[in-house]
Structure formats: structure tokens, C-alpha cells
Amino acid sequence: MVVALRRASALLGLFLAAFLPLPQYAQDPGMVHYIYQRFRVLEQGLEKCTEATRAYIQDFREFSKNISVMLGRCHTYTSEYKSAVNNLALRVERAQREIDYLEYLREADMCMESEEKRLAEMLLQEAEEEKKIRTLLNASCDNMLMGIKSLKIVKKTMDPDGSWMKDAGSDSPKVYLFIGSRSKTVLEFANIRAFMEDSTKPAPRKLLLPLSWQGSGQVLYKGFLYFHNQGTPNEIIKYNLQKRTVEDRMKLLGGAGRALVYQHSPFTYIDLAVDEHGLWAIHTGPGIQSHLVLTKIDSGTLGIEHSWDTPCRSQDAEASFLLCGVLYVVYSSGGQGPHRITCVYDPLGNISDEDLPNLFLPRRPRSHSMIHYNPRDKQLYAWNEGNQIIYKLQTKKKLPLK
């Protein structure tokens, strides 16, 4: 760099000498020496600057080398740290899986304990329920139906639908006639002879109810008339025949009254029945063509004592009755005979369809609008196409309780 400056100074001198006239002070030897000295000082300064620059460059190279070494170490440390972090993450994930598994085992144990507890409670509840049912149906009644062999047409009217009966809970000889599918009028006959005879002496007494009954499911029990209140889906009326007043009323639950009980009985939505155990209701549950529901009713308080969902369908059914706590459902094809009992339901589980012979009702041209069992005289009272009929029953002892 100094050589370059010297050459530049010489060239500048030649240039000035060639083109410019020398000033007066340039001809002075002292001035020339002074200028030379200044150039010398400048030249030394440039040399020092060059040396400093070289030293700086050397230091920078050393620094760069050291930085490269440090970066290499840092990269190594970074790889090691990353590997350590990955290993730690794997260990954490493994530990989390173990914790989840232990939690699953704990929940499984709790669930198993809860399931065992729930199962034990359910078994206890079922045992208590069975005990309650056996207590509820503890009447001294051990008969099961074996055959329906004879019939007696007691009377014939012009009405295809209706019902007739005696009080199933007393020794009263009176007979009651309900003509049609809905009305407020009930005919009371002094006895079965007065009911059978065509003469008007003694004439039947007309009882005018405050409410209209619907269907053919009404029953008489211990001086009270129980019937489905017309215009309501599920209300049962308890009417005192002696006082001529409504004693009480109740509503059946579980979809009762929303559909016909029997497909071939087009006006009966709730069928009431009486047997040795007391008052019952047969109705359908929710849904179309559903299975029949059997409900035990306390005749005194009209409280529901228990309900059972039975396997018996309402489709193709025409009537049903209870005998000793067992439901017998009569079916026919298209409303025509033969009339068969093809579904039997025993709440105690002691009688099934397989335990019974083929049960037929004597052939009639049409379906029955009602069939009710009277536990006092052990007979069926039925209505078939205007005929008031009594069926005689054959029974035998039930199988022993399981």
C-alpha cells in the first residue's frame, strides 16, 4: 500500500510539473523538505494502519475459527439435548399409558363392584316383587281351566254388542243388562228367571247412571258397578248401586285406553274383570297392536296394586277373562269361529300354554263382545251376536308352586 502511495505521489508530481508551473515556494529547498516530511509521516501512518488491519484480520480469523468450533459443539449439544428430550417424551408417554391402564383397571373394578351391587339390588328387588305378588295372589284358589264343554243360551236380544252379569262378589240373585256399546241406562232383573222370561212381570228396573259407560268391560263387585267412563281414555268409575252415587274414580296409566283391547271388540278400550283375587283391568300398552297389560286394582281404594306386561297380543283377540289369577285370552280368525284360548298368562309363572290342553269355546257364528268369569258360581257369562250365554267350565288343581 505504501508503494502504491509513493507511486501515486510521484505521478502527481510529474503531472503537476508537466502541466502546472511551479509556485514560488516550491523552489524553496526548505519547503520541499517539509513536504517530504509530511508525506513521510503520512506514509508511516498508513503502514501502522496496514499492520493494524492485518492484526484485525488475523484476530477475526481466529475468532471465526473459534466460533466455528463452538457452533460445532453447540450442534452436538443440540443433538444430544434433542435426543434426551425425545427419550424423556417417550418415557412420559409410557408412564401416561401405564397411568391410563391403572385408571382403567380401577374404573373396571369400580364398575364391576357397581355392576355387582346393581345386580344384587335387582335380584333383591325381584325377590321382594315376587314375594309381594305371591302375597297379593294368596287367595285359596288352586284351579286351572281344562275345558269349556257346554253352553246355555239364556236370552237373545237384537243388539250385537253388550254385556250382562250378576254381582261377582255377593250372593245377590239380581241380573244386570247393559245393551249396546255406550249408554247411561242399566236394566236390573230380580233374578235369572225374570231375565230369561219374555213377560214383563216383574218388569226390570231401569237404573239411570250419572255418567255413560263405554264398551262391554263393566263388572259388578260387592254392590258396586265399575265401568269405563265414556268420553275419557282411561278413567274408571266406581258407582254405588244402593246409594245411586259415584263412590270413586281412577285413571289407569301406561297407555291404557289409547287402543282397543281386542281387535274383534270394536268398542272396548278397557276390559274389567273379577276373579277369586278381586278386581282386575285388561288393557293395551303404548303402540299399535301391542300386547295386553294386566293390572290388579284394589276394589276398595281404586289403587293400582301391580301391573304385568303379558305376552298376549290384542291382534285377533276378541275377549278374555281371569280365573284364579290366570289370564285366558280368546282368539278367532276374522271374528269368525273357532274361538280358541291360545294365550295364557300366569303372574306367578306356574301355568303356561304348554300346561293346558287345546281350549275351544263352543262354535258361534261371530266373535264375543264380552266374556266374564263369575267366581261365585264358577261360570262364564258371555255375549255373542245378541245372545246372552252361560258357559260351563271344567277345571283341575293347579300345579304346586315352584
pLDDT tens digits, residue range 310-335? 999 999 999 999 999 999 999 987 66
CA distance 136 to 277: 8
**Residue type at position 217:** G
In this structure, the answer to whether residues 157 and 80 fall within a common structural domain is no
In this structure, the answer to whether residues 59 and 206 fall within a common structural domain is no
| Domain-embedded: residue 318 | yes
The pLDDT tens digits of the residues spanning 352-380 come to 777 788 888 887 778 899 999 999 999 99
- 336 falls in which pLDDT band (50, 70, 90)? low
Q: Locate cell 508525506: which residue?
A: 39
In this structure, the answer to whether residues 373 and 307 fall within a common structural domain is yes
Q: Locate cell 355387582: which residue?
A: 116
> Looking at the predicted structure, is the pLDDT value of residue 75 above 60?
yes
The pLDDT tens digits of the residues spanning 91-111 come to 888 878 878 877 777 777 776
| Domain-embedded: residue 119 | no
pLDDT score for 106: 76
In this structure, the answer to whether residues 174 and 259 fall within a common structural domain is yes
The pLDDT tens digits of the residues spanning 132-177 come to 677 777 766 888 999 998 888 999 988 999 999 999 999 999 999 9
In this structure, the answer to whether residues 88 and 159 fall within a common structural domain is no
pLDDT score for 152: 87
| Domain-embedded: residue 292 | yes
Instruction: Give 288's strand partners.
Output: none
Beta strand pairing call for 317-323 and 326-333: antiparallel
Q: List the one residue out of 210, 225, 223, 211 whose CA is nearest residue 177.
A: 225
Most trustworthy range by pLDDT among 43-52, 133-142, 283-292, 310-319: 310-319
> Looking at the predicted structure, is the pLDDT value of residue 41 above 90?
no
In this structure, the answer to whether residues 152 and 78 fall within a common structural domain is no
Quick one: which H or E segment has residue 331? strand 326-333
| Domain-embedded: residue 108 | yes
- 73 falls in which pLDDT band (50, 70, 90)? confident
In this structure, the answer to whether residues 204 and 276 fall within a common structural domain is yes
In this structure, the answer to whether residues 105 and 6 fall within a common structural domain is yes
- 21 falls in which pLDDT band (50, 70, 90)? low
The residue among 97, 112, 127 that closes a domain is 112
In this structure, the answer to whether residues 78 and 155 fall within a common structural domain is no
CA distance 221 to 298: 12
The residue among 69, 97, 112 that closes a domain is 112
Q: List the one residue out of 225, 151, 154 whose CA is nearest residue 195.
A: 154
pLDDT score for 2: 44
Number of domains the chain is built from = 2
- 15 falls in which pLDDT band (50, 70, 90)? very low
CA distance 384 to 363: 11
CA dist list (Å): 321 to 59, 240, 292, 308, 379: 117, 24, 12, 15, 11
The sheet carrying 162-166 orders its strands as 162-166, 175-179, 182-189, 205-214
pLDDT score for 305: 93
> Looking at the predicted structure, is the pLDDT value of residue 20 above 50?
no
CA distance 217 to 226: 9
Tally Cβ neighbours within 10 Å of residue 336: 13
pTM to 2 decimal places: 0.69
- 86 falls in which pLDDT band (50, 70, 90)? confident
pLDDT score for 222: 96
Domain of 96? 2-13+26-112
- 272 falls in which pLDDT band (50, 70, 90)? very high
CA distance 332 to 337: 6
In this structure, the answer to whether residues 105 and 205 fall within a common structural domain is no
| Domain-embedded: residue 234 | yes
**Residue type at position 170:** S
At 71 the three-state DSSP class reads helix
In this structure, the answer to whether residues 108 and 160 fall within a common structural domain is no
pLDDT score for 5: 46
The pLDDT tens digits of the residues spanning 192-239 come to 999 998 666 678 999 999 999 999 999 999 999 999 999 999 999 999
pLDDT score for 100: 80
In this structure, the answer to whether residues 328 and 378 fall within a common structural domain is yes
The sheet carrying 326-333 orders its strands as 317-323, 326-333, 336-345, 359-361
CA dist list (Å): 227 to 163, 224, 237, 259: 12, 10, 5, 17
| Domain-embedded: residue 118 | no
CA distance 116 to 119: 5
Instruction: Give 213's strand partners.
Output: 183, 229
Residue 305 — φ and ψ, nearest 5°? Answer: -85, -35
> Looking at the predicted structure, is the pLDDT value of residue 14 above 70?
no
> Looking at the predicted structure, is the pLDDT value of residue 287 above 80?
no
> Looking at the predicted structure, is the pLDDT value of residue 402 above 70?
no
Are 186 and 207 a contacting pair, CB within 8 Å? yes
Which CATH number characterizes residue 191's domain? 2.120.10
At 135 the three-state DSSP class reads helix
Beta strand pairing call for 175-179 and 219-221: unpaired
Name the grid cell of 78.
443440540
CA distance 377 to 397: 17
Give the percent of the chain with pLDDT over 70.
86
> Looking at the predicted structure, is the pLDDT value of residue 247 above 90?
yes
pLDDT score for 321: 97
pLDDT score for 16: 45
| Domain-embedded: residue 238 | yes
CA distance 215 to 204: 22
To the nearest 10 degrees (0 to 180), the angle between helices 2-19 and 29-136 is 130
CA distance 87 to 147: 85
Q: What is the average pLDDT value for the chain, to the nearest integer?
A: 84
Could you tell me which residue, 399 or 251, shows the higher pLDDT?
A: 251
CA distance 322 to 273: 7
Name the grid cell of 265.
271388540
| Domain-embedded: residue 316 | yes
